[in-house]
């Protein structure tokens, strides 16, 4: 069908006679998670398939498993192939119209059929696309759609992608003459306080003589302008971060004497500038970008994130003080941009990760060369009218100036109003120089020589696990590090204060299997506070996007892999619980008075009197800290990174910490932190908006462990069971833990992580009140500091009123199954180590929950880990690499879970994937090896880096006592940004052993 760009026409005042209709196709799809022969056939029977609604992500429904091919990169979840089918009746009024089926997102390698006819393929998992089915509608009384989704080859990305139709689906019915998909382009030409001039171009399908006009309406529905290609608005209300004013552009298409199409597009009027000397400007105001990078997934919900949760997360970031989001490393679903428009969040909209292979089976490896132009075009046409989008980004830690130039040129053709950047990819040909981790290096800005505007596309990289603290500074690559050149940050104490951990050091399978401190002292090169200071004080630094806003599934390699399933770099965890870091940003980036204390004040494993660094974040003028009513002094939050947190060294004693924050001598806000006893009860609350009064909806239920006095117990790790009363269900469960590998969906219970559990509860759409019963057996699992056990059941109304209920609890302590003849629960009781407590919860005379909790020395967190985590940077373990002609040995002394031994097989090799989030440059490959060659001075190997030979015949001198001691050899290498592959090939006989490599 031909298309025409219409730039002028007659002003239309007649009414719309042919209505465009958009219908949701989300409900009632049939689904099977396997490949089937003939699934596209009209006569195929899908009666045995599961019925579900989309958006849908089948991977997140599955079990975590170390053997799943998604592996560490994509979070150890199942992938595979899935089929969807849906049949709809054709209404008579659709015939003779233009009809298309549209998909906002399918991951990945989708093929779509309608009535057995193939409509097309789309390999990229983050493109929105549509297919014309007009002729089928004209000739049939029903349409059966079949969608095959192939995400079998893994890893298909470097992070969790999800699998399936993870976004909305639509049926669009229009006149044959209509505005093309993505065919409207609104741009601001000139603007001042008195007047704005905007231009609209329109692409029309079906009639080259169609007449087009436009009307512009304010938020309150008042028409403020009308015309053809150019509109003038008197006293325009500009779109900004503080006041995200939006207008509605109404486009009317007239053909054959009647209005045949009407399209409403939400737009904003604003002026964006980028300046090399001073960074980013919006409407003539210099604005620092206080950004975060985010992936598509939302932890337990996977990639199919409900719109309410997307909005909640964006509002959560806005409340933190964030004003910008980078869509890493792919476009988000369309509603994300609508919400950013509404909330006043700036967007760096990113389309691709690599322009060549990074992950083994990613888009860059198999489809980029053929599909990049189509995907980039669809992306820009879809997104270019959003005022929130201030810049395009076309790649991340990839390379190729020629490819980069093509991408930039194509962006400019489709949208000449926005500049283009990348995450440190061919920056020489970008409009704006975007740099990732390399920009965190000590002295980076002192040596930065460019006439381009500069932005930190991934800066800074720090790690933290909610509720976990260490006083010793930790660097991912060690300190000092010649290649990473990190800033120096002193330890908070000479000796480590905290000893609790998720595992004992002696049982740690991998040296990277560690949690990270919430003091903002676990970093790669730069702390978060230092980054805030640099953004504020360096004029040419436009701002940065921290990696990342939220923890996300995948890239577990950075943490040693299984059982770690996720990346712990967010200010908020996988379950949308804020970390201490969240409040640091809030103290620096917001004005509403706030104060936050860290750490908590429950420390049973710490000797009384031990000095604990107590830090307070606040945006007020001064903070006074009290311990048990006694003032410990007043401090003023400072401007430099080392003074942003007020800090007192406080001798540990139980009781109450209270921070009183004042401005201009007046108390603005107070915060208390109290010492908790053993966990004894649950507290239920809702985060974000409650359930809607009717219809389908979702809500976030927070479950907090408390002691008998209602004080939050920060070590809580007991399991909570959930029972929904009314027309609802548990959509997903989580807790924010990076090492909890239980299923998120299709389950009714979850263990707490540092005191908190999350339940996502979904209303089915039927009428009726909805409530949730949450129940738990509570106690300190190891019984080290308390042997008291309590059982608690709590009800919370999520829609309507609480039902009339009678709750009875019966329990056993001998491991037997509880019945209504078992001991009735009357209050807390004591148990001995090795006891399994089981409980039956009876609701209105009906058993609804069976609870179980074991209390023993071999369960639960470790209170006193035998050895503190090593400060020696962990290497890349050989036993977790790709192997051929080698076996894994797990006896002896080694790092990780074992070492490898080559068996003399021809073609043997070991290959590692190494991700470099810093600059490219010189480095050293350190090989930790052992073995004595039968002949000669040692074993010889071929060393390859990214397919290039580094050393043809490297000698590894004989090293005896394999499994007892190891030798090392260093090889000079060139490390590329992003994906690197290191390959070692033995050139001699069997016997060479490799423990690990490291890149320095």
Q: Is the pLDDT of residue 867 over 50?
A: no
The H or E element containing residue 50 is strand 50-52
The backbone region for 27, taken as left when phi is positive above 0, alpha when psi lies in -120 to 50, beta otherwise, is beta
Q: What is the pLDDT of residue 3?
A: 52
Q: Of 589, 613, 633, which residue is a domain's last?
A: 589
Does the pLDDT at position 841 exceed 60?
yes
Structure tokens at 788: 């008291």
Find the CATH number of the domain harbouring 844: 2.60.40.10
Position 513 in a domain? yes
* CA pair distance 512, 476, nearest whole angstrom: 9
Check: CB of residue 638 under 8 Å from CB of residue 644.
yes
**Using one digit for the tens of pLDDT, what is the confidence trace for 47-84?**
999 999 999 999 999 999 999 999 999 999 999 999 99
Does residue 600 belong to any structural domain of this protein?
no
Co-location of 94 and 208 in the same domain:
no
- Do 13 and 99 sit in the same domain of this protein? no
Q: Taking a C-beta distance cutoff of 8 angstroms, is the pair 799, 340 a contact?
A: no
Q: Is there a domain that residue 636 lies in?
A: no
Residue 5 backbone dihedrals phi, psi, to 5 degrees: -90, 120
Pair (904, 982) in one structural domain: yes
Residues 151 and 255 in one domain: no
Residues 913 and 952 in one domain: yes
Pairing of strands 886-889, 938-945: unpaired
pLDDT at 5 over 70: no
The single residue listed with the structure tokens 């989708």 is 110
978 compared with 581, residue with greater pLDDT: 581
Mean pLDDT value across residues 526-555: 98
What is the pTM assigned to this prediction?
A: 0.94
Task: Work out the pLDDT band at 2, boundaries 50, 70, 90.
Answer: low
Confidence of residue 866 (pLDDT cuts 50, 70, 90): low
Predicted confidence band at 6 (pLDDT cuts at 50, 70, 90)? Answer: very low
Bond before 548 cis per omega within 30 degrees: yes
- Tens-digit pLDDT profile for residues 475-515: 999 999 988 999 999 999 999 999 999 999 888 888 899 99
Q: pLDDT digits over 338-378, tens only? A: 999 999 999 999 999 999 999 999 999 999 999 999 999 99
Of 824, 855, 886, the one marking the end of a domain is 855
Q: What is the mean pLDDT of residues 630-648?
A: 98
pLDDT at 874: 77
Q: By the 8 A CB rule, do 809 and 682 touch?
A: no
Which one, of 426, 516, 291, 570, lies nearest residue 978 by Cα? Answer: 426
Q: What is the pLDDT of residue 872?
A: 57
Q: Which residues are catalytic?
A: 397
Same domain, yes or no: 7 and 36: no
Tokens of 76: 């150890």
User: Rounded CA gap, 27 and 340, in Å?
Assistant: 26
Does the pLDDT of residue 11 top 90, yes or no? no
Task: Name the domain count of the chain.
Answer: 5
Number of other residues whose CB lies within 10 A of the CB of residue 748? 15
The CATH number of whichever domain residue 117 belongs to comes to 2.60.120.260
Per cent of the chain over pLDDT 90 is 92
Average pLDDT of the chain?
A: 95
Q: Are residues 434 and 454 in the same domain?
A: yes
User: Where does the pLDDT of residue 12 fall: very low under 50, low under 70, confident under 90, or very high at 90 and above?
Assistant: very low
Q: Is residue 69 part of a domain?
A: yes
Same domain for 262 and 298, yes or no, is no
Q: What pLDDT does residue 249 have?
A: 98
- Identify the pLDDT of residue 595: 98
Provide mean pLDDT across the span 168-179: 98
Closest CA to 250 of 264, 269, 236: 264
Q: Which of 520, 435, 481 is nearest to 917 (CA)?
A: 435
Same-domain status, 148 and 296 = no
Residue 541 lies in a domain: yes
Can you tell me whether residue 880 is helix, strand or coil? helix
Tokens of 976: 């590329």
How far apart (Å, rounded) are the C-alpha atoms in residues 464 and 447?
30
- Helix, strand counts (H, E) of the chain: 9, 64
Tens digits of per-residue pLDDT, 424-459? 999 999 999 999 999 999 999 999 988 999 999 999
Calculate the alpha carbon distances from 528 to 135, 287, 327, 473, 940 in Å: 57, 19, 20, 13, 44
Is residue 9's pLDDT more than 60? no
In the prediction, which pLDDT does 919 show? 84
Tell me the mean pLDDT in the region 576-582. Answer: 98
Q: Is residue 679 part of a domain?
A: no
Is residue 583 situated within a structural domain? Answer: yes
User: CATH number for the domain including 492?
Assistant: 3.20.20.80
Torsion of CA 208, 213, 218, 219, to 10 degrees: -40
| Bond into 55 cis (ω within 30) | yes
CA distances to 19, 275, 293, 628, 749 from 656, in Å: 65, 50, 37, 5, 33
Q: Looking at the DSSP assignment, which residues form a beta bridge with residue 749?
A: 721
Residue 290 scores a pLDDT above 70:
yes
Please count the other Cβ atoms lying within 10 Å of the Cβ belonging to residue 488: 9
pLDDT of residue 864: 87
Residue 869 pLDDT > 50: no
Q: How far apart are CA 570 and CA 695, in angstroms?
A: 33
Side-chain-side CA neighbours of residue 1 (13 Å)? 20
Q: What is the pLDDT of residue 318?
A: 98
Pinpoint the alpha helices (H) of 212-333.
307-320
Domain termination site, one of 589, 623, 644: 589
298 with 420, same domain: the answer is: yes
Whether residue 349 sits in one domain with residue 221? no
For residue 672, is it within any domain?
no
> Two tokens at 549?
């806003």
Domain limits for position 156: 21-174
HEC string for 668-686: EEEEEEECCCCCCEEEEEE
377 and 498 in a single domain? The answer is yes
- Give the pLDDT mean for 265-289: 98
């Amino acid at each position: 069908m031909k298309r025409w760009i219409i730039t002028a026409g007659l002003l239309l005042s007649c009414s719309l006679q042919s209505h465009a209709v958009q219908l949701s196709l989300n409900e009632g799809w049939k689904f099977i998670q396997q490949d089937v022969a003939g699934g596209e056939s009209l006569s195929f029977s899908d009666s045995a398939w599961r019925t579900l609604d989309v958006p849908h992500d089948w991977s997140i429904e599955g079990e975590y498993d170390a053997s799943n091919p998604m592996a560490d990169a994509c979070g150890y979840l199942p992938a595979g192939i899935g089929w969807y089918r849906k049949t709809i009746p054709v209404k008579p009024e659709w015939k003779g119209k233009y009809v298309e089926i549209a998909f906002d997102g399918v991951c990945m390698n989708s093929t779509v059929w309608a009535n057995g006819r193939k409509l097309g393929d789309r390999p990229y998992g983050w493109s929105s696309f549509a297919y014309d089915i007009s002729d089928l509608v004209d000739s049939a009384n029903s349409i059966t759609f079949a969608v095959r989704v192939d995400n079998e080859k893994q890893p298909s990305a470097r992070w969790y992608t999800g699998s399936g139709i993870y976004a909305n689906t639509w049926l669009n019915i229009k006149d044959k003459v209509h505005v093309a998909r993505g065919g409207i382009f609104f741009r601001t030409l000139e603007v001042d306080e008195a007047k704005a001039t905007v231009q609209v171009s329109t692409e029309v399908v079906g009639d080259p003589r169609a007449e087009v006009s436009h009307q512009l309406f304010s938020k309150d529905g008042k028409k403020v302008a009308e015309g053809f290609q150019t509109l003038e608005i008197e006293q325009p209300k500009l779109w900004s971060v503080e006041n995200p004013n939006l207008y509605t552009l109404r486009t009317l298409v007239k053909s054959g004497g009647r209005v045949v199409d009407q399209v409403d597009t939400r737009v904003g009027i604003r002026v964006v500038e980028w300046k090399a000397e001073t960074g980013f400007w919006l409407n003539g105001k210099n604005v620092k970008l206080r950004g975060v990078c985010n992936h598509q997934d939302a932890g337990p919900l996977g990639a199919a994130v409900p719109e309410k949760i997307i909005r909640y997360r964006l509002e959560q970031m806005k409340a933190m003080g964030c004003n910008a989001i980078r869509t890493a490393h792919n476009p988000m679903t369309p509603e994300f941009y609508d919400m950013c428009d509404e909330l006043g969040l700036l967007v760096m909209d990113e389309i691709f990760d690599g322009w060549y292979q990074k992950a083994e089976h990613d888009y860059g490896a198999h489809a980029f060369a053929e599909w990049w132009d189509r995907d980039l075009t669809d992306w820009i046409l879809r997104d270019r009218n959003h005022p929130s989008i201030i810049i395009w980004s076309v790649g991340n830690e990839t390379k190729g100036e020629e490819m980069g130039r093509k991408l930039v040129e194509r962006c400019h053709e489709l949208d000449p109003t926005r500049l283009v950047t990348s995450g440190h990819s061919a920056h020489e040909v970008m409009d704006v120089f975007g740099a990732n981790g390399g920009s965190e290096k000590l002295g980076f800005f002192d040596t930065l020589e460019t006439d381009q505007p500069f932005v930190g596309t991934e800066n800074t990289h720090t790690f933290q696990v909610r509720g976990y603290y260490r006083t010793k500074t930790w660097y991912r690559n060690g300190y000092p590090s010649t290649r990473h050149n990190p800033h120096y940050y002193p330890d908070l104490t000479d000796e480590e204060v905290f000893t609790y951990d998720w595992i004992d050091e002696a049982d740690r399978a991998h040296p990277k299997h560690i949690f990270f401190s919430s003091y903002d002292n676990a970093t790669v090169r730069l702390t978060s506070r230092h980054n805030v200071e640099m953004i504020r004080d360096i004029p040419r630094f436009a701002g940065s996007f921290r990696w990342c806003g939220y923890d996300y599934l995948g890239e577990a390699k950075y943490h040693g892999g299984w059982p770690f399933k996720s990346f712990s770099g967010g200010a908020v965890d996988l379950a949308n619980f804020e970390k201490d870091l969240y409040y640091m940003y809030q103290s620096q980036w917001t004005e509403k008075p706030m104060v936050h204390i860290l750490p908590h004040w429950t420390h049973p494993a710490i000797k009384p009197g031990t000095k604990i660094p107590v830090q307070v974040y606040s945006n007020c003028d001064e903070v006074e800290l009290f311990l048990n009513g006694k003032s410990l002094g007043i401090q003023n939050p400072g401007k430099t990174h080392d003074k942003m947190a007020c800090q007192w060294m406080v001798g540990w004693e139980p009781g109450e910490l209270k921070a009183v924050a004042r401005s201009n001598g007046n108390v603005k806000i107070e915060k208390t932190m109290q010492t908790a006893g053993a966990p004894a009860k649950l507290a239920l609350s809702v985060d974000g908006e409650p359930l809607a009064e009717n219809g389908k909806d979702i809500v976030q239920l927070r479950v907090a462990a408390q002691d008998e006095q209602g004080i939050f117990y920060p070590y809580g790790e007991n399991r909570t069971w959930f029972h929904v009363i009314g027309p609802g269900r548990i959509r997903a469960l989580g807790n924010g833990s990076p090492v909890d590998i239980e299923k998120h969906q299709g389950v009714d219970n979850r263990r707490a992580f540092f005191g908190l559990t999350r339940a996502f509860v979904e209303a089915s759409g039927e009428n009726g009140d909805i409530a949730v019963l949450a129940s738990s057996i509570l106690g300190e699992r190891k019984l080290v500091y308390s042997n008291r056990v309590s059982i608690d059941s709590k009800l919370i109304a999520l829609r309507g009123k609480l039902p009339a209920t009678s709750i009875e609890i019966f329990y056993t302590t001998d491991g037997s199954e509880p019945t209504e003849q078992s001991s009735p629960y009357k209050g807390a009781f004591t148990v001995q180590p090795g006891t399994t407590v089981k409980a039956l919860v009876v609701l209105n005379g009906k058993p609804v929950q069976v609870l179980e909790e074991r209390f023993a020395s071999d369960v639960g967190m470790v209170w006193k880990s035998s050895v503190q985590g090593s400060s020696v940077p962990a290497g890349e373990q050989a036993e977790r690499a790709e192997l051929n002609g080698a076996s894994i040995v797990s006896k002896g002394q080694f790092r990780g879970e074992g070492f490898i031994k080559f068996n003399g097989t021809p073609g043997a090799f070991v290959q590692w994937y190494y991700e470099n989030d810093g600059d490219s440059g010189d480095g050293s490959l350190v090989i930790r090896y052992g073995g004595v060659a039968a002949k000669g001075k040692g074993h010889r190997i071929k060393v390859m880096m990214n397919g290039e030979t580094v050393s043809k015949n490297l000698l590894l001198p004989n090293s005896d006592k394999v499994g007892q001691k190891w030798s090392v050899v260093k090889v000079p290498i060139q490390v590329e940004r992003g994906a690197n592959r290191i390959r070692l090939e033995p050139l001699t006989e069997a016997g060479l052993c490799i423990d690990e490599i490291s890149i320095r």
